[in-house]
Structure formats: structure tokens, C-alpha cells
Chain A
Amino acid sequence: MSLPAGFTATDRAGEPLLEVTDLVKHFPVRGGKVFRHTIGEVHAVCGVSFSIGTGETLGLVGESGCGKSTTARSILQLVEPTSGSVRFEGKELTTLSPSEMRGVRRELQVVFQDPYASLDPKIPVGETIAEPLKVHGMWRGNDGNQRVAEVLRQVGLSPSHAGRFPNEFSGGQRQRIGIARALIMEPHLLVLDEPVSALDVSIQAGVVNLLEDLQEQLGLAYLFVAHDLSVVRHISDRVAVMYLGKIVEMGSRQQIYGQPAHPYTQALLSAVPVPDPRIERERKRIVLPGDVPSPIDPPSGCRFRTRCWKAQDICVTQEPRLDPFDEHHTVACHFAAADREVLSFSPTRRGSSD
């Protein structure tokens, strides 16, 4: 299947940096009374396509189990995709050997969610940061140490911290060290898997600002995987919303938050609490009935139909394609209709500063 029209990335530099086409990842479910065998499959990611341009941030949002992290891991080839294509800087990653993939990883780095689990407590952070250089055979004594100092400065820490151990840092600082480790290879694309979810809000803000600064200074592209829709709105150029293994809506930040057209996106946005009591008292909420169906046996047709207030017979029989709805705005719904009211509230005093 080729990309539908209007689906191309709003790419600033022409050629997309990363192009994911029809990515599928199924995990086997094993069971059986006597002999363990495959009794089913978890349909974690089912035909996801998107692209990211140089210096661009794509926010990938969705709730637990929607496949956003599996998508990120499949792109990094940390899990082997069942099918589909991942092209990064023109290179097909799914067919690369592990050693060829290692070369690609210089340009394609990752930052994980938990800053407590992703740093080795027994080695000084300077060595953790330097490790990628050594793995790639690029470690040159003095230059290397200078490079470590440079990235530490870039992430808002002090070069003198290189000799300290992870337990001497706060969560926010540890996440900065994780970012420094990714930056030392001068990557072109950073995959950020819930990078600020484990942090308290007052500290999260500093890391978000840092990511914005680094993007501006270094021209990095981000795949920003998160469940926090407020942070994603803040940092993303474009946003893709996932539900049960599929992208249901994708568009610019302004389109997704200003005129969401898929019922799920609308429900999701209406459920995000706003730290503003007057708005919270007045706004209307869409509370979805029921739960997300099991990805082992996803519903026929539209996967959201079991909870959708717009569902008709066609939604049961025919799966909606991710079709153009507006310029660079695609929606997978038979009854897509923009709702401009979800997050637009009458002007209220926001904090005491205004």
C-alpha cells in the first residue's frame, strides 16, 4: 500500500529523515494445557505509517497498550517488526544485520522513561556518557573527555559532574544524563520514550525546555512518545494519535488540538484535566464507556467502534482508512468531523500574571 495523498510529512528539508510504512508487530501469546504453543497473537502495532522530517518533532500519543512504545522500539529494531518498512536516511532498517544496524544507531538514539533504571549505578556518569563513543570505536582519550564535558554542558549540567555516580543526582538530572548519553553520538533523530513521565512537574518543565533548546541548537528531530497530551502539545510540530495499534488521526499540532476530527481524539482531549477551576467547572467532558478491547482479539471494522457514540453498521463491517481530512491532516473515521470546541474555552484569567 502506498501512502495516501496528503499523508506526506510536513517536512522542512524535503526528504523525510524517517519513513515508517505499514509497520506491523504482533507478539505471540503462548499457552496450552500440555504443550506450550502459540494460541493467539497480541496485535500491538497494526499497519502504522508516518514520517519525520529533519529537525521536526512528531508526538506519538495514546493510552497504555495502544502500541506507541512498541512502535518506537520497532523503529529502533529493539523488537523485530513482523512486517513493514522503516527507512531512516534512505536506508531500510528492517533488513540490516545487527552490525550494520550498529552503524545506524550513531544517528538514531533513544532516551528511555525511567532515569533510575536506565543508568548503571556502579559506573560514574562520565563513563556512561562516553560508552557509546567507545562502542563505536570513536573514543580518542583527551578529545573524548572534552566531548563528555561538552555534552554535559549542553544538557545543563556541569562537566565536573562526570566523576559522580547516578545516585548522587536527582531524577531530573539523571534524565539529563540519559539525554547526554544519546547526544554524544551527534544523532539526527532522538526517540524519546516517555522522557518526562517519571519526573515531578516543576522538574519536568526544565527537561522539556532543554529538549526544545537542543533541537534548536543541533537541528535534531524527535519522535516523542508520551501519554501526557499537555506535554505533547507543548513540544510537538505534528502529532499522531494511536488507538489499539493503529494511528487514528495525524496532523499538525494546531489541527490535532484545535480541530480534532476523530471521536477518540476528541474524547481524549476532553478528558485531560486543565489546571484552571473555572474552565473545569464549565467544560463539557466526553466520558467514554467501557474499556479498551483486548489487542489479542481487536474488534472488526473500526477498532474504536465499541466505545464510539457515532458508531453505525458501516463501522462494524468496514475499517476506516487513514484518509486526508484537511491539508496534512488525516483521520481514520467514517464520520470524521472537526470539533473546534473541545479545548477552546472562553477567555479566563490564567494565573495571576495575566
Chain B
Amino acid sequence: MKPSHSKFAQDPHAPLLSIEGLEVSFRTAEGTVNAVRGISLDLQPGEVLGIVGESGSGKSVTAMATMGLLPRSASVRGSVRFRGEELLHRNERQLMPFRGKAISMIFQDPMTSLNPVYSVGWQIVEAILAHQDLSKEEALKIAIELLRKVGIPNPEDRVGNYPHEFSGGMRQRVVIAIAIANNPEVILADEPTTALDVTVQAQVLEALRAALSSTHAALLLITHDLGVIAGIANRVLVMYAGRPVEIGTVDEIFYDPSMPYTLGLLGSLPRVDTDGTERLRPIPGSPPSMIGEPVGCPFAPRCPLAADICRESEPPLRSVGSVDTGHLAACHFAEDARIRGASLFAATSSDIDATRGAGGVAPPESGLSFGHGPDEARAPGPGNYVIAEGFSPAGPGGYETAPDAQETSGDPVLPPDETEIP
């Protein structure tokens, strides 16, 4: 084992990383965007916790808040503790001893997280010297070893190369080398393989596994790729509209999903190991706007099980099943969902959001995006809270057809201030 970080070890019994009631909001011209609406999690040493969710679900903002990387305009509440020590609301100087040493971070795009004008060796050395009292020569030796560890061939020759001389996958491996340079106890990885091709992704995941086994670090892996989660995570937290909606072991989430959104995600995924004869089951509609505070369950407009109670009160995370295994789901009908399984969603091809009833309102884009690249979170707005006519909570087949009767009537576009979140 590596030496313990005695200067952080305020409370030896506290979890490694503990997030409690984290809320993040941004004030924008359109209103307050509640990007994260209360997330709590504990990360134990050596654990791999996967956070899944679609664009705009708040998963990246959670990571940024943990690292203290959000802009000043963000309003952050709650608590993020590393070994019992509060990290929120510290200034840059106070965060320095933690960043890179206690917690390090791997971002999605290695071209933007590496500096193009410095050699990769220098960038690793810089990270090492930030926390360790070594000579440059010693640090360079460690840098070469780190590059070898993450699978860069001929590290002695490549250490002097610049980022542009590396391919995308190699750059991401360099980023991993920097992340483990100071033997961190927690690694936060935000979509570390999303920009990469599958064979390169396999190489980078291999490097990440090697990094974990050499540092014994815990990993908080944020991704939208359920396949990657299935391969590496011990526990999974599913996020929707800024809140965890289900949390459990990787097997519980994949084999016993109990929140309709989780079921929908799994059912909408084409699988490479099954022949494509079975129709996919999309989740109708789009994720809600994060502007304002939703009333009721934010997934209700897309949920086949939604009933009146779902539109009135947002369900808290509750234990699933009779035995408390730590498997929690935020659904008024978690037991029903669990029994219904993947058949909960219909194998439809229409877009229910577009064929919703008279209240169908498409508000202007907020221009705010927390995801990466073109994402789904930008366009949908408060209108998504409107429940579609012809939307049958009865389940399968409920929206198989999109009859003309569902066409919107009247003024197709209302100004945004006339729309209300029910």
C-alpha cells in the first residue's frame, strides 16, 4: 500500500469521499437552472462507483462541484467531504493540497486537458512536483514509469513528445498518467472514453484498470455508456433531472432495475450481442428543462406508470424490496416497475413529445448546456412537463400510434413566460 495522507486524515472512520445534499444552480436570463437538485453518495476506498445519466442530468456538474471547478456564477449548497474534511467553499489556495493528490480528475477531451505547448513529460513532472519534494530528474524518471504503466510504448522516447504527436487514445492515457502521478485516493473520471473509438476505448479502459490497481484509488466514473459501467463499476448511481433516481450494486441496477427511467435506458439500448430482431423500446419525450423547480416526479411525463401522485409529489429514494441491501429507487411505483421489467416501454417509433396535446409548447433554447457536444438537454423546456393526450399509463402499446387526433391545436408557440411547470 501507499503511504497514507496523514495530513488529510481528520476522521479515520469517515468514508473516503462523502457527498451530502449537493445542490448546484445557475442563474440565467431564462431563470434559475437547477442543475443538481440534491445528490448524496459515499465512496469507499477501492470502490468503483459509476454515475450514469443522459446529457443534462447533472452528472458532470456534480464532478465539477466536487473538485471546486465550477464558475463563480454557480450557487453550490450541501457538503462534499474528503475523509471528513469539507471541500466546498474553499478558495483555490485551500484546494491545492487536495487537487491531484487526494482527488484527481480525468476529463473527456484529452486535447483540451493537455497543454499543447509543453511536452507531455513536462506536464507529468509539473503534476508530480506540485505535491512531491523531488528533483526534476527524479520526477522525470517517475513520469517515464507512469507512461509505461498506462501502456505508452517506448516511454523513454515519447516523454519528450508534445500532445499533438500522440493519438487521441494515447493522449487520454497521458491524462491518466497525470491523474495517478501523486497516488490519489479518489479519481474522478468524467466521460473518459466518450470521444474515443471502441478499440481505443478498450486500451484506455485497460490503462484505467491498471491505474486503479497500482494506486488502489477509488473511482467515480461518470458516463452515459451503460456498457462501460457494466464492465468496470461495483456500484451504480442513475441520475435524472439533477437527482439520483436509483442506486445499487451493478448487478442490482442491470438485473433488477426498479426505477422506470433505468428500465427505459436499458430497454432502449441496442446490444451488440443480440441479433437485431427485437424492436428497441425508446423512452418517449425528452428530458425536462432544468429551469425552475419541478413539481412531482420529473420523469412522470415520460413514464408509462405515472399516476396523479407522481405529478404531485417527487418520490424520495427508498429501499427496494423487503431486505435493505442498499438498493434504492425514487419511484412511487418501484415495485410495479420492478415486476413489469423492460416491457414497461412500448417499441414505438413516433416521438410522443412532438405529438403531445394542446399544451404542446416548445420554449426557446436556453443556450445552456452541461453535457458534451450536441445534447438533448438544450432544446426541451418546461413544455415537457405537459402530459400528452392519448398517453396511456396502461403500459405497452400505449403510444404505439400517433393518430392525428393528437395534433397540437392553436398557437404553436407561446412565449416562455406563459408556460408553467405544473
Inter-chain contact B374/A115, CB cutoff 8 Å = yes
User: Nearest Cβ distance between residue A211 and chain B, in whole angstroms?
Assistant: 8
Whether A273 is near chain B, meaning CB under 8 Å from some CB there, is yes
Inter-chain contact B265/A273, CB cutoff 8 Å = no
Name the residue on A nearest B341 (C-beta): A353
Name the residue on B nearest A64 (C-beta): B197
Inter-chain contact B354/A161, CB cutoff 8 Å = yes
Q: Which residues of A contact B256 (CB under 8 A)?
A: 352
Inter-chain contact B270/A156, CB cutoff 8 Å = no
Q: With A and B bound together, what is the CA distance between A239 and B132 in angstroms?
A: 53
- Among A9-17, A48-56, A93-101, A165-173, the one that faces the other chain is A165-173
Q: With A and B bound together, what is the CA distance between A108 and B380 in angstroms?
A: 32
The verdict on A277 contacting B379 (CB below 8 Å), with A173-B351, A230-B269 known, is no
- Among B2-10, B139-147, B407-415, the one that faces the other chain is B407-415
The verdict on A173 contacting B353 (CB below 8 Å), with A202-B264, A230-B272, A351-B267 known, is yes
Whether A271 is near chain B, meaning CB under 8 Å from some CB there, is yes
Q: Number of B residues contacting the other chain (C-beta, 8 Å)? A: 84
Q: Which residues of B contact A115 (CB under 8 A)?
A: 374
In chain A, positions 114-130 with a C-beta closer than 8 Å to chain B are: 114-117
Which secondary structure dominates where chain B touches chain A? Answer: loop
Q: With A and B bound together, what is the CA distance between A167 and B168 in angstroms?
A: 32
Q: Kindly supply a per-residue 1/0 record for chain A positions 57-89, scoring 1 wherever the CB is within 8 Å of any chain B CB and 0 otherwise.
A: 000000110000000000000000000000000
The verdict on A285 contacting B202 (CB below 8 Å), with A114-B374, A170-B376, A275-B269 known, is yes
Inter-chain contact A233/B198, CB cutoff 8 Å = no
User: Nearest Cβ distance between residue A295 and chain B, in whole angstroms?
Assistant: 13
Q: Which residues of A contact B407 (CB under 8 A)?
A: 158-160
Q: Which residues of B contact A42 (CB under 8 A)?
A: none
In chain A, positions 140-164 with a C-beta closer than 8 Å to chain B are: 153, 156-161, 163-164
In chain A, positions 157-202 with a C-beta closer than 8 Å to chain B are: 157-161, 163-164, 167-174, 176, 198-202
- Having A63-B198, A176-B351, one finds 10 other A-B pairs with CB under 8 Å, namely A170-B353, A171-B379, A201-B269, A206-B348, A234-B276, A236-B276, A273-B201, A273-B225, A273-B228, A278-B251
A-B contact pairs, 7 of them (CB 8 A): A161-B354, A168-B379, A171-B375, A198-B374, A276-B230, A287-B199, A288-B202
Chain A residues with a Cβ under 8 A of chain B:
63-64, 114-117, 153, 156-161, 163-164, 167-174, 176, 198-206, 208-210, 212-213, 227, 229-231, 233-236, 253-254, 257, 267-281, 285, 287-292, 343-345, 349-354
